[in-house]
Amino acid sequence: MDNSKNYWTGLDELDKTEAYQEGLENEFPAQQKVDEFLADDRLKETNTGRRDFLKFMGFSLAAATLAACETPVVKSVPYVVKPEEITPGVPNYYASTYYDGHDYGSVMVKTREGRPIFIKGNKYHGHQAGALNARITGSVIDLYDSSRLKGPVAAGQAATWDAVDAAVASGLSSARNVVVLSASVASPTTQRAINAFATKYNAKHVQYDAVSYSGISEANRRSFGSAMVPTYDFSKAKTIVSIGADFLANWLNSNLYAPQYGMTRRPEGEWMSRHFQFETTMSLTGTNADTRVMINPSDEGKVAAALYELVSGSGSGKVDGVSEMALQNAANALKATKGASLVVAGSNNPDVQEIVNAINQSLGSYGSTIDTSKPLNMFKGDDKAMTQLVRDMKGGQVDALIVYGVNPSYSWYAAEEFNEGLAKVKTSVSFSGKADETAARCGFICPDSHYLESWNDLSLTEGRVDLVQPAITPLFDTRQAQETLLKWAGVESDYYTFLRSTYNASYDMSMMYTDSDWNAAVHNGYMMAAATPVAEATVVEDASAEAPAASNLSAAINAVKKISGGSMQLAIYQKTAIGNGAHASNPYAQELPDPVTKVTWDNYVTMARSDMEAMGLNIYIAQLDHASLVKVTAGGREVVLPAYMQPGQKPGTIGIALGYGRGANGENIGRAAFQTAENGDHLTDENGALVPVGKNVFPMATMMGGYPVLANMDVSVEAMGEEYPLASTQMHHTYMGRESVVKETTLGAFLAEKDKKKGYASWNRMHALNVHEDTNNDGEINASDKKSTREFDLWHDHAVENVGHRWGMTIDLSSCIGCGDCVTACHIENNVPVVGKDEVRRHRDMHWLRIDRFYSSDYTMERGEEEGLGAISTYRKMEDPAENPQTVHMPMMCQHCNHAPCETVCPVAATTHSNEGLNQMTYNRCIGTRYCANNCPYKVRRFNWFNYMGYDKFKNVNPAQDMLTRMVLNPDVTVRARGVMEKCSMCVQRIQAGKLEAKKASAPVQDGAIQTACAESCSVNAIHFGDLNDQGSNVKKISENNRSYHALEEIGVQPNIYYMAKVRNIEDQEA
Give min distance, CB of 704 to another protein, in A.
40
Among 622, 664, 869, 1071, binds another protein (CB under 8 A): 622
- Angstrom distances, CA of residue 154 to CA of 161, 439, 670: 10, 11, 20
Sheet holding 456-458, edge to edge: 456-458, 465-468, 526-527
Residue range at the interface with another protein (CB under 8 A); choices 260-268, 279-287, 634-642, 735-743: 735-743
Give min distance, CB of 861 to another protein, in A.
9
Among 150, 176, 318, 738, binds another protein (CB under 8 A): 738
**Is residue 303 within 8 Å of 355, Cβ to Cβ?**
no
Question: Which of 239, 956 has the CB closer to another protein?
Answer: 956
- Angstrom distances, CA of residue 1061 to CA of 52, 218, 262, 274: 85, 43, 15, 17
Under rule CB under 8 A, residue 798 binds another protein: no
Residue range at the interface with another protein (CB under 8 A); choices 52-60, 102-110, 699-707, 843-851: 843-851
Under rule CB under 8 A, residue 853 binds another protein: yes
- Rounded-to-10 torsion of CA 855, 856, 860, 863: -140
Residue range at the interface with another protein (CB under 8 A); choices 396-404, 776-784, 941-949, 1001-1009: 941-949
Question: Which of 110, 844 has the CB closer to another protein?
Answer: 844
Amino acid occupying residue 61: L
Question: Which of 453, 785 has the CB closer to another protein?
Answer: 785
Give min distance, CB of 979 to another protein, in A.
3
Question: Which of 805, 941 has the CB closer to another protein?
Answer: 941
Q: What is the DSSP letter of 926?
A: -
Give min distance, CB of 647 to another protein, in A.
15
Closest C-alpha to 888, from 684, 737, 997, 1050: 737
Question: Which of 206, 1047 has the CB closer to another protein?
Answer: 1047
Under rule CB under 8 A, residue 842 binds another protein: yes
Under rule CB under 8 A, residue 730 binds another protein: yes
Among 843, 858, 862, 996, binds another protein (CB under 8 A): 843
Give min distance, CB of 676 to another protein, in A.
15
- Cα 381 versus chain centre, distance: 25
Under rule CB under 8 A, residue 907 binds another protein: yes
Tell me if residue 288 falls in helix, strand or coil. Answer: helix
Measured CA to CA, the distance from residue 203 to residue 183 in angstroms comes to 16
Site for another protein in 942-1001 (CB under 8 A): 942-947, 951, 977-981
Under rule CB under 8 A, residue 299 binds another protein: no
Question: Which of 135, 598 has the CB closer to another protein?
Answer: 598
Rg (CA), the chain: 34
Among 939, 992, 996, 1040, binds another protein (CB under 8 A): 939
Tell me if residue 618 falls in helix, strand or coil. Answer: coil
Q: What is the DSSP letter of 162?
A: H
Residue range at the interface with another protein (CB under 8 A); choices 62-70, 306-314, 556-564, 850-858: 850-858
Residue range at the interface with another protein (CB under 8 A); choices 310-318, 324-332, 462-470, 928-936: 928-936
Give min distance, CB of 288 to another protein, in A.
18
Site for another protein in 307-346 (CB under 8 A): none
Question: Which of 455, 854 has the CB closer to another protein?
Answer: 854
Measured CA to CA, the distance from residue 104 to residue 790 in angstroms comes to 47
Residue range at the interface with another protein (CB under 8 A); choices 106-114, 325-333, 626-634, 902-910: 902-910
Question: Which of 100, 880 has the CB closer to another protein?
Answer: 880
Among 235, 314, 397, 935, binds another protein (CB under 8 A): 935
Residue range at the interface with another protein (CB under 8 A); choices 103-111, 577-585, 610-618, 734-742: 734-742
Measured CA to CA, the distance from residue 484 to residue 481 in angstroms comes to 5
Burial class (CB in 10 A: 0-12, 13-18, 19+), 686: exposed
Residues 6+ apart with CB under 8 A from 510: none
**Is residue 470 within 8 Å of 114, Cβ to Cβ?**
no
Question: Which of 322, 892 has the CB closer to another protein?
Answer: 892
Q: Rounded to 5 degrees, what are φ and ψ at 92?
A: -115, 150
CA angle in degrees (0–180, nearest 5) for 678-681-685: 95
Helix then strand then coil, in percent of the chain rounded to 5, is 30, 20, 50
Closest C-alpha to 183, from 348, 376, 379: 379
How many Cβ atoms are within 10 Å of 1009's Cβ, its own excluded? 16
Closest C-alpha to 534, from 813, 193, 260, 966: 193
**Is residue 813 within 8 Å of 742, Cβ to Cβ?**
yes
**Is residue 598 within 8 Å of 588, Cβ to Cβ?**
no
Q: What is the DSSP letter of 716?
A: E
Q: Rounded to 5 degrees, what are φ and ψ at 421?
A: -65, -40
Among 630, 658, 926, 986, binds another protein (CB under 8 A): 926
Site for another protein in 996-1055 (CB under 8 A): 1047-1048, 1051, 1053
- Cα 821 versus chain centre, distance: 5
Question: Which of 632, 926 has the CB closer to another protein?
Answer: 926
Site for another protein in 339-358 (CB under 8 A): none
Under rule CB under 8 A, residue 123 binds another protein: no
CA angle in degrees (0–180, nearest 5) for 642-647-651: 80
Q: Strands of 488-623 (E only): list them.
A: 526-527, 569-573, 599-600, 605-607
Among 623, 665, 802, 915, binds another protein (CB under 8 A): 623
Q: What is the DSSP letter of 49?
A: -
Give min distance, CB of 923 to another protein, in A.
10
Question: Which of 323, 730 has the CB closer to another protein?
Answer: 730
Measured CA to CA, the distance from residue 745 to residue 901 in angstroms comes to 30
Encoded one letter per residue, x for contact with another protein by CB under 8 A and - for no contact, window 855-874 reads ----------------xx--
Q: What is the DSSP letter of 676?
A: B
Give min distance, CB of 724 to another protein, in A.
18
Under rule CB under 8 A, residue 731 binds another protein: yes
Question: Which of 93, 875 has the CB closer to another protein?
Answer: 875
Tell me if residue 189 falls in helix, strand or coil. Answer: helix
Under rule CB under 8 A, residue 176 binds another protein: no
Measured CA to CA, the distance from residue 112 to residue 86 in angstroms comes to 8
How many residues bind to another protein according to rule CB under 8 A? Answer: 63
Question: Which of 451, 1058 has the CB closer to another protein?
Answer: 1058
Give min distance, CB of 818 to another protein, in A.
12
Among 247, 308, 938, 1045, binds another protein (CB under 8 A): 938
Among 931, 955, 1008, 1041, binds another protein (CB under 8 A): 931
Burial class (CB in 10 A: 0-12, 13-18, 19+), 739: middle
Q: Which residues sit at the interface with another protein, rule CB under 8 A?
A: 622-624, 730-732, 734-736, 738, 741, 839, 842-845, 850, 852-854, 871-872, 875-876, 890, 892, 901, 904-909, 925-931, 933-935, 937-939, 941-947, 951, 977-981, 1047-1048, 1051, 1053
